[in-house]
Structure 1
Amino acid sequence: MDSVGDSLDRALEQAFTRPIPKSAPAQMRYLVKQLKGTRRAAELLGVSQRTVERYVTGQLKHPRRELAARLEREVRHRWQPQIRARAKQKAASTDGLVFATRARFGFTAAPGTTDDARIRDITQALPPQWAERLFQARDAGATENQLLQIAAEGLGQMYFRADDTRAQGLDVEFTDVEQIEISL
């Protein structure tokens, strides 16, 4: 299952203007520069300070698989923060985002009426206010379920209720997510 948080991160990475450093020594040098020291980089990665220094100088070049994954994740998380912030601002103020998903959707409407849930493929443009809510919740540390709830509200309003021009009072249930792809 894809997560909304990971999809938001991938969407922001599409705005990058330069590729992320490929080699482990280059990634380590970038991380040390961002964290302002080898000690903080070592603590973050769970290795010794001397190991970080060896990567920085080029004595070590091929990290273990776990360390390589942690190193790439931390560099990717910190790469081009101004570009990332600009892309967030643009999505939250003017452009919005496109939310594509394959999930189970069910509905509850007026008392006594319901529609059984079924798997649907939906691609829907969400206006800037929904992008802003998703990014703010993500930055505030919201759980995946909270992000899914915000997405369900946005899809309910824009897709199922046609921007609240029909089917007022329709509540959307968003479960069994198979895939999520968000683009800016």
Structure 2
Amino acid sequence: MTDEEKAQQAARTRSKLMEGLARAERALFTRPAPKSPRAQMKFLRTREKGSTKSLAERLGVSRKTVQRYLSGASTKPNKRLKEALVQETESEWQPQVRARARQRAASSGGMVISCRAYFGFGPEGTSDAGRVRDISVAVSASHAAAILAAQEDGATQNDLHDAVAEAIADTYFRQSGGGRAGLEVKFADVEWLNITF
């Protein structure tokens, strides 16, 4: 595998991890987030204290573009603007609900990680040989805190991947230190990943 292929694979894994965390947060919302571009623009403008200029800078578009969506003159954003609207709206929507759930996960509740990925740790030809596995595991609050802190701090692909891999490995394969404490686990080729708080 070339360095470029490894980088692409790492980027896909990070994307799946971030999507899994975003889905977990969306599931906590007590009210649905705004769906239409106009409603999203209106909501984000309130978060920017009514400033269309700062909203335009935040979204990477012109002030005139923001005004067209607010007035209803434009209704179909291009792909980049649509993704920015969804991402920014979800990042600002119900911050207290998200903060309480994150705090609970990091202090007492932990989180459940379900995934289909390649896990390997033993020599070939043994029952422990690496293979694709479907795993669903409840990770401890300390592991949840490490994953959430890495996400909030804008962790690199490797840091976030390592935090999730360590949580799964410690809980599922090492059973929190019992018997297989020094076991090295390889976590790669994530096909899907879901997280719930």
Q: Same fold (TM over 0.5)?
A: yes
Taking a change above 3 Å as real, the CA distance of residues 152 and 68 of structure 1, as seen in their structure-2 partners, is closer
Q: Which residue number in structure 2 is paired with residue 180 of structure 1?
A: 193
- The structure 1 segments of at least 4 consecutive aligned residues displaced by more than 6 Å after TM superposition are none
Q: 1:35-56 CA distances to partner (integer Å, 9 max, x unpaired)?
A: 2210011112222212212222
Q: 1:38-93 CA distances to partner (integer Å, 9 max, x unpaired)?
A: 00111122222122122223333333343222212211121111111111001111
Return 5+ residue gaps in structure 2 as ranges: 1-11
1:49 aligned to 63, 75, 81, which one?
63
2:129 aligned to 116, 131, 135, which one?
116
Q: Which residue number in structure 2 is paired with residue 92 of structure 1?
A: 106
User: How far apart, CA to CA, are the structure 2 residues paired with 1:114 and 1:148?
Assistant: 25
Letter in 1 for 2:20: S
Q: 1:1-23 CA distances to partner (integer Å, 9 max, x unpaired)?
A: 55212211211111111101122
1:40 aligned to 48, 54, 57, which one?
54
Q: 1:107-155 CA distances to partner (integer Å, 9 max, x unpaired)?
A: 169xxx9953211111000011111000001111112221121122111
Q: Does 1:24 align with 2:37?
A: yes
Secondary structure of residue in 1 paired with 2:107: helix
Q: Does 1:61 align with 2:72?
A: no
Return 5+ residue gaps in structure 1 as ranges: none
User: How far apart, CA to CA, are the structure 2 residues paired with 1:99 and 1:77?
Assistant: 21
Taking a change above 3 Å as real, the CA distance of residues 126 and 76 of structure 1, as seen in their structure-2 partners, is same
Counterpart mapping for 1:71-150 below 5 A: 71-107=85-121, 115-150=128-163
Q: Bigger CA drift: 114-123 or 90-99?
A: 114-123
Letter in 1 for 2:59: L
Secondary structure of residue in 2 paired with 1:104: strand
TM-score normalised by the chain length of structure 1: 0.90
Q: Is the CA contact (8 Å cut-off) linking 1:97 and 1:131 kept in structure 2?
A: yes
Structure with greater proportional strand content: 1
Q: Is the CA contact (8 Å cut-off) linking 1:24 and 1:61 kept in structure 2?
A: yes
